[in-house]
Every structure is written in structure tokens, then in C-alpha cells.
Structure 1
Amino acid sequence: MEVKARGLTFEVAEGGPADGQPVLLLHGFPQDRREFDLLLPRLHTAGLRTYVMDQRGYSPGARPSGVASYRIAEPVADAVAVLDTLGIEAAHVVGHDWGAQVAWLLAGRHPERVRTLTAISVPHPRAMQLALRVRPTQQARLAYFQVFRSAIAERLLLGGGALVMRRMLGPIGPRADLYVKAMREPGRLTTALNWYRAFRTDDVADLGQISVPTTYVWSDRDGVVGLTAALRTADWVSGDYQLVAMRGVSHWVPEQAPRELGDAILARIGV
């Protein structure tokens, strides 16, 4: 369905029992709402009502021009506005990659809208900032960030049959084709990369402890987030907290380990 919010139109897929507890799922880069397709049947069987939105830059009707339109506060405000339009006072929030960054900020700045938080792969921003200061290896893991901010990023990712993007998404196998095809849509890759180009550390520097019940899912073969950031996330959650560490799983948790992720989400929600 199409959800109008903040003068934009977001594509949102809803599913599960109409009377189920609401769950808002937020995707990352370079994926879209389909990254949760393997997970959703488990949530629906458990009686949950899911809302999976294509975020700004991904929904065709939500691609404002200009890099500044993709500062992280904007997708956070989008999520609040979408909940408002749907008439949802508070939802369980699940986010992966950039979606996790949005989810952390949503829980920190609008805790009344978040029943529980399950953040996948990306840790609390302050834990990441610490890891970047004390672990050169974490700095190396995020070296790609500057490449994605550069003017050559579009050509690099889609050139040569999108070889770089396909290699990046290698652990999810043929499902990578879904996202490569989508990113060939004119303008879509640029607006998705604008999330990287717009990001400033000041945007998350004031985020404090998270008071809502929280689970952070980290995987030991994640090439983006090291162990220090994963462990220190506990310092930034005052509510009930659990770290779920997955072995042998890469950054692409929702598609590589949907069963185990489903276990973690359902345990956090309590169904």
C-alpha cells in the first residue's frame, strides 16, 4: 500500500493478523523491504501484524532532491509520521543496517512510540564511536563508507555488471539479483547513497541510553561491525537488554539466518 507522510509517499507492505501487535521493519542498504521476506512468515504465524516500509530514497514517491534531505533525522521523522498515518501509537521496531541506525534513534528520541527494539548488525551509535576511537580495525571495517560518499560510488557499484554490489551481497546468493535490478532504476542508487553522503557524527553524538526493551543482533562474520562495538552496546541500554551473537553469519542476517533472527525477535517481543 501507499502511505502518505510528510509530503512524501512511502510504499509499505502489511501482513499478518489484522489484530496482531504491530511491528515496523526498517531495511538497510542496498536492500529494500524485501530483505525481510524470509522472516515475515514466522512473525505472521506468531500472530504479529507487520509493516515493512521502503524508506526515503527507495520508495519512488519519497525521493527528495539534495543530499541534506537524507540526514539521519529525516528517516527517523519519516518512521514517526508513517506510524501516525497508520494510526499506530507504538510498535515493536526491527531494523537492519541503516534501518537499525534509524531504529536506535527512534527508540532514543521517541521511546513512547517503540514497544521493543531489535537492532540488527549496526550497534548503538555511541558504541560504534567508541570502537572507532580505540580500534583501528573498526576504522578499517568502515573504510568503504568514504567510497560510498564519493562521486564515483554509482559507477563503482553498478559497473561491470554490478560486480562490486554482487560481491558485497555474495552471502545471500541469487537474492542479490533483486537489489541489483532495483538499483538500476534511474536515480534510486544515488538517493540510497545519499544516506552515506549526508551522515555526520554530530547527528548521533547526543543519543543517550535506550530505555525500551532491546535486543542487539550481531554476527561474527560481519565485515562491518567488530566485537568491541557489539559488546559496548550494552553500556547504552538502560532497559532490559540482550546481545544475540550469531556464529558463521555475515552482515546480511535477515536473509542468511531468518530462522535464528525470528527466534530473537519473538523472544524480545514475548510471543
Structure 2
Amino acid sequence: MKTAAEQAGWAHHEERINGVRLHWVEAGDGPPVVLLHGFPEFWWGWRRQIQPLADAGFRVIAPDLRGYNLSEKPRGVAAYRIQALVADVAALIRHTGADRAHVVGHDWGGIVAWWLAMTAPERVDRLAILNAPHPRAFGREIRTPDQMRRSWYAMAFQLPVLPELAIRARNFALLEAVFRAESVRPGAFTDDDIRRYKEAAARPGALTAMINYYRAAGRSPRPETRIIPHPTLLVWGERDQALRVQLTCGLEEWVPNIRIECLPEASHWVAAEFPEKVAELLTGFLRAP
């Protein structure tokens, strides 16, 4: 049986970008749109938005970020510092033959997108973020007891070895619970989706690489935050268990050209729970004059 990607005619690519072998899926033709997934997904997290964006006249590029699924998994925490992640995406955009691209990110992909827009603004046309905090807003909110409680897992991920053992236990039961228990819309994740995510996490070196995103963030200095001048769309599922909705407040100071769309019935997994709405918001925003 053909996969959805094969049925849609999506192309798979794998090339060395920024010194790391990256895998990505590509569909459509037109201005490039780069879709950046989060933890613990891979490009499949955008499975319901790729074709609508391609049909709307965009060249859609959905990579597996370094460490994930079919992309290379460099060893060591330092390989996952934000500077390296941003450089991968900037190099991928250049590899497409374009000077700049629309960039859309969810969760960790959104964090990379925020930093890309701040540190390599010449590579970004329009910016769209789904449930990923702006660095300055997160720095503000992590001081609150509620956000500290919600971020317990990121602190636990700083430990060596134990997080990998816990996630891998009982056939990745914790990973499955992340999707099953935290999603507020039944059926957002199918059995096939869960199987794919487990298989991706089970690849040699993948789980440690995925967790190293958090370890690197907790141990490495970050670049200085800068004003983001790009037109920016922030889509936020208000029932996110890990991130307070207050993270959407006060962003105009750092992102003056921002539009915020809060979805009260969505969780952290907004693109899976409300795929048509997210595709509509993205295509409308990216096609705006």
C-alpha cells in the first residue's frame, strides 16, 4: 500500500547540508515554505498541511531536523546548540536556490524559527509559529511557579541516560502518552501515527539526539535576542499542558508586526487536532500581500 506521501507525489531528498546529512520531504512549486517540526515528531508532524500549502502555490520543504528520523545524528550535546540548528535551516534555504523562505515552526521547530528570524533575518520572508515560546517571553514566564511546574520534563531531561531509559521503557509508553493523553481531540493521532513516531525514536542514536536539544538549551549560552521585523503569525492552542497561554502576551515589544491567533479548544498539538484550520491560517497568512 502506498503511503500518503507517495500518493501525493511528494519527493524525498537526503543531502549533506551544513556538514550534516539531512532528510526532507518536498512538494509543490513556487515560493519556498520550510516547515520545522518539534519534539518528539519528525517531518510527519506536518502531514496534514503539506498538500494544502502545495496546492496554494508554495514549494513546501519539511525536513527531519538534525538528530531526528532519517537525518544524521551527530554525537554530543554541543552539536544541538541553537546556533547549529539555525545554521542547518539557513543552509537548507540556500540549498533550495532561494535567498529567503517563509518559515513555519512548531514546538522546538518554532524555537529554531524564532532564533533564525533574529540571527539570520535575511533568510526569512514571513514567520509563522505554532505553540513555541518566544525566548524573551519564556524567560519571563519560567520564573512563575505554574510555568516551572509545567516545564518539569525539560529539567528532568538534563540528567544523563535516565530520560532515554524512561522514554524507551514498555515500548515507548511515555512517548505514546505524550500524544494520546495530551491531545484534547480524539483521533488526532492514529495508531499509524504513533507507530511512525516510535519507529523514528527507536532509530540508533535518535532518542539521545532528540533529548540533547533540551540538554544543549540548558547548558549553552544563547545569542542576544533581537527585534523581529518580519510579518509574524503566532497560532496558539490554549489547552497546551506544557506552555502557559500567557506566553503569547507582550510580544509586540520584540515582534512589532505580529498577529496572534489563539484556539481555545486546541492543545499543544494544534496542527494535528485542527489541521484544516491551521492550513487555512497558514495559507492565508503566507499569501497575504
- Pairwise TM-score range, normalised by the shorter structure: over 0.9
For 1:248, give the aligned amino acid.
E
After TM superposition, the structure 1 = structure 2 runs for residues 7-46 of structure 1, keeping only pairs within 5 Å, are: 7-17=19-29, 20-46=30-56
Query: What residue ranges of structure 2 are gaps of 5+ in the alignment?
Result: 1-12
Between 202-211 and 44-53, report the one with greater CA deviation. Answer: 202-211
Q: Secondary structure at the match of 1:92?
A: strand
Is 1:136 paired with 2:153?
Answer: no
Does the CA-based 8 Å contact 1:73-1:203 persist in structure 2? no
Query: How far off is 1:98 after superposition?
Result: 0.4
Summarize the Cα distance change of 1:202–1:11 in structure 2 as closer, same or farther, 3 Å threshold.
closer
Identify the match of residue 65 of structure 1 among 54, 75, 88: 75
Is 1:97 paired with 2:107?
Answer: yes
Is 1:115 paired with 2:125?
Answer: yes
Summarize the Cα distance change of 1:235–1:204 in structure 2 as closer, same or farther, 3 Å threshold.
farther
Identify the match of residue 225 of structure 1 among 237, 243, 246: 243
Question: After the TM superposition, which segments of 4 or more aligned residues of structure 1 sit over 6 Å from their partners?
Answer: none
Summarize the Cα distance change of 1:77–1:225 in structure 2 as closer, same or farther, 3 Å threshold.
same
Query: How far off is 1:258 after superposition?
Result: 1.3
For 2:49, give the aligned amino acid.
L
Q: CA RMSD in A?
A: 1.6
CA distance in structure 2 between the partners assigned to 1:181 and 1:216 by the alignment: 30
Q: Output one character per residue of 1:78-97: Cα deviation in whole Å (capped at 9) or x when no partner.
A: 11111122212110000010
Q: Secondary structure at the match of 1:123?
A: coil
Q: Secondary structure at the match of 1:2?
A: strand
1:208 aligns with 226
Q: Output one character per residue of 1:33-69: Cα deviation in whole Å (capped at 9) or x when no partner.
A: 0100111121111111101111111154521111111
After TM superposition, the structure 1 = structure 2 runs for residues 189-208 of structure 1, keeping only pairs within 5 Å, are: 189-200=207-218, 203-204=221-222, 206-208=224-226
Query: How far off is 1:148 after superposition?
Result: 2.2
CA distance in structure 2 between the partners assigned to 1:232 and 1:192 by the alignment: 30
For 2:126, give the aligned amino acid.
T
Summarize the Cα distance change of 1:203–1:230 in structure 2 as closer, same or farther, 3 Å threshold.
farther
Is 1:173 paired with 2:208?
Answer: no
Query: How far off is 1:113 after superposition?
Result: 0.9
Does the CA-based 8 Å contact 1:210-1:236 persist in structure 2? yes
1:147 aligns with 156
Query: How far off is 1:260 after superposition?
Result: 1.2
CA distance in structure 1 between the partners assigned to 2:179 and 2:94 by the alignment: 34
Summarize the Cα distance change of 1:269–1:71 in structure 2 as closer, same or farther, 3 Å threshold.
same
Does the CA-based 8 Å contact 1:94-1:100 persist in structure 2? yes
For 1:260, give the aligned amino acid.
K
Count the aligned residue pairs: 267
Identify the match of residue 206 of structure 2 among 184, 188, 208: 188
For 1:9, give the aligned amino acid.
R
Is 1:156 paired with 2:166?
Answer: yes
What's the TM-score, normalizing by structure 2? 0.88
Query: How far off is 1:173 after superposition?
Result: 2.7
Does the CA-based 8 Å contact 2:201-2:207 persist in structure 1? yes
Query: How far off is 1:202 after superposition?
Result: 6.3
CA distance in structure 2 between the partners assigned to 1:230 and 1:201 by the alignment: 25
CA distance in structure 2 between the partners assigned to 1:63 and 1:205 by the alignment: 23
Query: How far off is 1:111 after superposition?
Result: 1.1
Q: Output one character per residue of 1:73-132: Cα deviation in whole Å (capped at 9) or x when no partner.
A: 111001111112221211000001000000001111111111100011012110111111
1:126 aligns with 136
For 2:228, give the aligned amino acid.
I
Summarize the Cα distance change of 1:173–1:59 in structure 2 as closer, same or farther, 3 Å threshold.
closer
Query: What residue ranges of structure 1 are gaps of 5+ in the alignment?
Result: none
For 1:48, give the aligned amino acid.
F
Q: Secondary structure at the match of 2:243?
A: coil
For 1:125, give the aligned amino acid.
P
Does the CA-based 8 Å contact 1:117-1:213 persist in structure 2? yes
CA distance in structure 2 between the partners assigned to 1:118 and 1:203 by the alignment: 25
Is 1:252 paired with 2:269?
Answer: yes
CA distance in structure 2 between the partners assigned to 1:75 and 1:122 by the alignment: 15
